[in-house]
């Protein structure tokens, strides 16, 4: 119930104005977002890499409505890749891109073209791109664009969401050699017709999908903070003789940082998803929706200063 309310609020510009102007919002945002500039992103990346972690960077933004905005997002990624390259960090840091930020909602060809240029710049810099997955109305379009991008840049990664009923079958499609698939539970409010609704059904689906990916020939990226699913991932890695360079765990910036370094100290590859930029609202609301304790943390910080 609370999750539905927060996810509905994540689409409301009125609530966005309220939250953005609340006096201590910045403190809460800082817990989940690395800052606003490429230099902020670079600083966070350096800290995480020094702690033995790897990184995927997200220039915040979604639901772009004009070609100019889409171009600006593309340019922001090109700038970020140049900054990472100059700092010698492209061996440890890649980028995550939301196709809606580069024009998908109004011009799929433009989104593809922008994503293609980002993939080309990433390849030149010696790193990769993963396409984030958004709500279910975009899944087919995102997977179509992914297939086109992979023709030139086979290491382009996809995200599949275990809450969608279709995902086990998508995992089978994408479990082949050379593919990189991030498996997450899914962060949007989806109808019962397309998505499992209960936490236990989503978890069961996650395990089925994880089995398919870990048994396959691709590179699974297990994106979860859930202790049970992490343990199952470790167990399947042993079962399928996967070495630390043949799969990875992924977590979000600011969430379970001790677990991130613990897994890395055990020899696992752990990648932290680091968002930065001004457009933090939708991202923050999805993080709050995932965990009521975060709403309490937000409310406390609004009241206590």
CB of 232 to ligand FAD, least distance (A): 12
CB of 159 to ligand FAD, least distance (A): 4
Contacts of 20 (CB under 8 A, 6+ apart): 281
Residue 86 or 299 with smaller CB distance to ligand FAD: 299
C-alpha–C-alpha distance, residues 248 and 223, integer Å? 8
* Burial letters 33-72, b for 16+ CB under 10 A, else e: bbbeebeebbebbeebbeebbbbbbbbbbbebeeeeebbe
Residue 95 or 187 with smaller CB distance to ligand FAD: 187
Residue 86 or 211 with smaller CB distance to ligand FAD: 211
Active site (catalytic) residues:
132, 182
Residue 74 or 185 with smaller CB distance to ligand FAD: 185
Residue 167 or 224 with smaller CB distance to ligand FAD: 224
Q: Which residues bind ligand FAD (CB under 6 A)?
A: 132-133, 159, 161, 182, 184-188, 223-226, 250-252, 255-256, 273, 287, 290-291, 294
Residue 155 or 167 with smaller CB distance to ligand FAD: 167
Smallest Cα–Cα separation from 24: which of 230, 305, 228?
A: 305
* Burial letters 261-289, b for 16+ CB under 10 A, else e: eebbeeebbbbbbbbbbebbbbbbbbbbb
Q: Which residue is nearest to ligand FAD (CB)?
A: 225
């Amino acid at each position: 119930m609370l999750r539905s309310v927060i996810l509905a609020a994540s689409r409301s510009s009125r609530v966005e104005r309220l939250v953005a102007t609340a006096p201590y919002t910045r403190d809460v945002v800082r817990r989940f977002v690395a800052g606003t500039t490429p230099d902020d992103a670079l600083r966070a990346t350096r800290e995480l890499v020094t702690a033995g972690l790897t990184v995927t960077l997200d220039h915040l933004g979604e639901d772009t409505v004009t070609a100019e905005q889409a171009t600006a997002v593309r340019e922001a990624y090109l700038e970020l890749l140049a900054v990472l390259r100059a700092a010698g960090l492209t061996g440890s840091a890649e980028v995550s891109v939301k196709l809606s930020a580069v024009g998908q909602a109004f011009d799929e060809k433009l989104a593809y073209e922008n994503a293609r240029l980002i993939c080309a710049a990433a390849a030149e810099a010696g790193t990769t791109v993963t396409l984030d997955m958004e709500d279910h109305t975009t899944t087919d379009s995102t997977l179509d664009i992914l297939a086109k991008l992979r023709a030139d840049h086979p290491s382009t990664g996809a995200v599949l969401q275990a809450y969608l009923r279709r995902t086990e079958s998508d995992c089978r499609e994408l479990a082949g050699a050379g593919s990189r698939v991030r498996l997450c539970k899914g962060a949007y409010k989806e109808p019962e017709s397309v998505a499992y609704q209960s936490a236990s059904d989503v978890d069961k689906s996650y395990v089925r999908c994880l089995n398919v990916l870990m048994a396959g020939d691709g590179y699974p990226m297990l994106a979860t903070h859930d202790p049970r699913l992490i343990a199952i991932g470790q167990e399947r890695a042993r079962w399928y003789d996967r070495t630390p360079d043949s799969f990875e765990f992924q977590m979000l910036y600011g969430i379970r940082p001790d677990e991130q370094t613990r897994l890395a100290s055990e020899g696992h590859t752990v990648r932290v998803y680091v968002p930065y930029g001004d457009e933090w609202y939708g991202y923050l609301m999805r993080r709050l929706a995932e965990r009521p304790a975060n709403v309490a943390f937000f409310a406390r910080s609004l009241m206590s200063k």
